[in-house]
Amino acid sequence: MKDEQVSRTAQMTAYSRGYHSRNDTPVIFDDFLAFDMLGHEERRSLEEQMLAMLRSANPEAAAAFNDDESALNWLMQSGASAPIVLGRARYAEELLKQAMEQGARQYVMLGAGLDTFAFRHPELLADMQLFELDHQGTQAHKRRRLEELEWEISNNLYFIPVDFTRTSLIDVLRESAFDPQVPAFFSWLGVTYYLTQSEVMATLRDIAAISAPGSSVVFDYLDTDAYVYRLAAPRVQRMIEVVRLLEEQMLSGFNPFSLASELERVGMTLVEDLSPADIHKRYFWGRTDHYRACEHAHFAYAALSKARY
Ligand SMILES: C[S@@+](CC[C@H](N)C(=O)[O-])C[C@H]1O[C@@H](n2cnc3c(N)ncnc32)[C@H](O)[C@@H]1O
């Protein structure tokens, strides 16, 4: 990803949330502001790009649709990306509310992208400090977009540029209004894929080192089978390929069986690891459309190890 550019995958994930909010019932996660945040031009451009990719990768399937609307509906509901995006957003905001009930008063969104939490939940924002960290190109784009939209930016919202491959999270948070004495909730959605395992672990180690007892982090990841051609589900292979074409290569995954011990080594305790079957049961069961939890995608929730207190 280039420093000055907006992340194409952040735009895609916002598109998935906006599409779902406007077109599907019942909603798994209602980001009713996502299409506004994206903007009409960007939305049309993403739709054209998705349809062009479908026509070139699978001309027979593309020809079978009567119109673009049906093709987009199929891409959203049967693809790998939207169910991951919707499920993890729902899970993260459920955990955030739980963490706030237990005393967390800081929310750190790592790789926030075009997430609209700050504007969907002013009542929660009033009771916390929110830190949106992201790659500088994506963050600059979001701030320009917010100015165009004239949405009011709360004094509790801080934007901090970061590059997880180059910067220490400890350094950037120390230079900000983040308070290491106040329990914090971190979300890291749709980002671990693009980093190496050691970069992911370095950031998790920083979270453990800079946060107060009672702090926690939610993140999603792919299991390592997703990167093995003969083991990966076809729609996950397609997602990895599409993202590569967008020049945001997915690099790594984790073994769910060793994740708990890897987290312990960086000062975190795995509280919960939702497998695709768990996610399906929790958020997708009984739907009459085609959304299904995505193979290989896990949602993990980890807290600071008690041994650190
Ligand atoms: C797939 S998007 C997810 C955005 C948002 N969390 C969501 O769920 O919609 C990936 C995000 O990670 C950010 N990102 C990727 N690599 C990064 C890096 N090395 N440092 C900082 N941010 C990065 C991108 O800018 C983008 O906002």
Per-chain mean pLDDT for the chain: 96
Query: Which has the minimum average pLDDT: 6-20, 52-66, 211-225?
Result: 52-66
What residue owns the CA closest to ligand 1's atom 4?
113
| Per-residue confidence band for 2, with pLDDT thresholds at 50, 70 and 90 | low
- 179-204: pLDDT as tens digits: 999 999 999 999 999 999 999 999 99
End-to-end CA, the chain: 38
Q: Is the CB of 220 under 6 A from ligand 1?
A: no
- 238-286: pLDDT as tens digits: 999 999 998 899 999 999 999 999 999 999 999 999 999 999 999 999 9
Residue showing tokens 């007892």? 213
* Separation of alpha carbons 24 and 82, rounded Å: 12
Minimum-distance ligand 1 atom for the alpha carbon of 10: 2
Query: Which has the minimum average pLDDT: 47-61, 68-82, 214-228, 290-304?
Result: 47-61
Q: Is the CB of 113 under 6 A from ligand 1?
A: yes
Ligand 1 probe mutation, 194, 243, 246, 252, most atoms within 8 A of CB: 194
Q: Is the CB of 6 under 6 A from ligand 1?
A: no
Alpha carbon of 60 to ligand 1 centroid (Å): 33
Q: Which domains does the chain have, with CATH numbers?
A: 81-308 (3.40.50.150)
Query: Which has the minimum average pLDDT: 35-44, 57-66, 98-107?
Result: 57-66
Alpha carbon of 39 to ligand 1 centroid (Å): 19
Q: Is the CB of 185 under 6 A from ligand 1?
A: no
Query: Of 197, 309, 182, 196, which is closest to residue 262 (Cα–Cα)?
Result: 197
Assess contact for 15 and 36: CB atoms under 8 A.
no
Burial 52-73 (b: 16+ CB within 10 A, else e): ebbeeeeeeebeebeeeeebbb
- 103-130: pLDDT as tens digits: 999 999 999 999 999 999 999 999 999 9
* φ, ψ at 272 (rounded to 5°): -155, 140
The pLDDT, as a whole number, for residue 246 is: 87
Q: Is the CB of 163 under 6 A from ligand 1?
A: yes
Quick one: DSSP state of residue 80?
S
Helix (H, G, I), strand (E, B) or coil at 4: coil
